[in-house]
Amino acid sequence: MRVSIERLTKRFGKVVAVQDLSLEIMDGEFVALLGPSGCGKTTVLLTVAGIYRPTHGWIRFDGKVVNDLPPRERNIGMVFQSYALYPHMTVYENIAFPLTLRRMPRAEIHRRVVAAAQLLQIEELLDRRPGQLSGGQQQRVALCRALAKEPDLLLLDEPLSNLDARLRLLARAEIKRLQKELGITTIFVTHDQVEAMTMADRIAVLNQGVLQQFDTPEALYTRPANLFVAEFIGSPPMNFLEGSLTVHGSALRLTGPEWHVTLPEGLKSWAEAVRDRDRLILGVRPEHVRLAPSEEGELRAEVYVIEPLGRDVLVNLRIGSLRLRALVPPPFPWKVGDIVGLHFDPAHLYLFDPHTGVLIGRS
């Protein structure tokens, strides 16, 4: 099913939860709605489901406006954060319940329940009750219940947030495999950018009810539209250095209170195009910060905190009041309090407008 969200606005009294949102979701596509708490992503999902009605705008399924269509007539499957399983029912009865409400023949209900259970490998749990299941098993039952309806559209509202770290990894891969195998158009709400990046074909990043960028995971990471996307996508987040442009001979520098960075040719042309702006923000991801002995770097910084991560070491640095992060391979030869030199990879730098937050260009 193709889902079109056109100029969607949703208000609750004076609060604008979603503002003028437009998205085109292709048939069979896996799309994540990503953003911090309160950004409007669950409101969008519930509006698509028919639980909320738009204040303005349209929701279309395969070109047909469904604004006034009740949820039961939209042929959707939905998995909630809490899973919403009935504790007094067995797993079989929980999965069968929506089909029973439709007054389907008993044989058809049995076929669908068994098929869904086999798909998610929970056949041996059908006689148990939810209280006898682990969190991961409950999540599979909730997914089974949604899939047994054979929906045209699958809506997932943070279904992994109640799982521990190991189960989240397994469930992430399982849901992605299942969605590709079945080819069901899926909208997935999450505040976890790792979940969105690893699972979705495209991601809609929202902030305060406004769409910031709708693109592939790779494009969001390598070409963020603005400061919000650049900081929200990526773990650890991008470093930002705000300064003014200065000229030193043929070199163009970005200068702050206690530092300066010579802009590489790839950024120099962008900076020269906006010389009328008093200040600019330079962005660099932690994995593109290189450390060296203090006498070798253009910038000198103090090692502030060292966080071993196994495969990498996250180093927190400070230059006066400025805080930076570097992600480097072990072993790390310096200790807290040491002064190190910094190099920024000239092929992976970004310039942003500090007033609008918009990306000006990248090297």
Q: Which amino acid is at 192?
A: D
Residue 60's SS3 state is strand
Which DSSP string do the residues of 195-229 spell out, in sequence order? HHHHH-SEEEEEETTEEEEEE-HHHHHHS-SBHHH
**Res 164: pLDDT:** 78
The domain 3-225 belongs to what CATH superfamily? P-loop containing nucleotide triphosphate hydrolases (3.40.50.300)
**Res 166: pLDDT:** 79
Angle value at C-alpha 265, between 261 and 267, nearest 5 degrees: 65
Whether the bond into 331 is cis, omega within 30 of 0: yes
**Res 228: pLDDT:** 97
Which DSSP string do the residues of 66-114 spell out, in sequence order? -TT--GGGS-EEEE-TT----TTS-HHHHHHHHHHHTT--HHHHHHHHH
The tokens 């002064």 sit on which residue?
Answer: 339
**H or E element in which residue 253 lies:** strand 251-255
**Res 134: pLDDT:** 87
Rounded to whole angstroms, how far apart are CA atoms 295 and 180? 52
Q: What are the helix (H) ranges across the chain? A: 41-49, 91-101, 106-119, 135-148, 165-182, 193-199, 217-222, 227-232, 265-273
**Structural domain spans, the chain:** 3-225, 239-362
Domain 239-362 has CATH 2.170.130.30: no
From residue 107, how far is each of 25, 72, 90, 110, 117 by CA, in Å?
35, 21, 18, 5, 15
Under DSSP, the state recorded for 131 is G
Extract the residue ranges of the chain whose pLDDT is less than 50: none
- Please give the model's pTM, rounded to 2 decimal places: 0.90
Phi–psi pair at 298, nearest 5 degrees: -70, -35
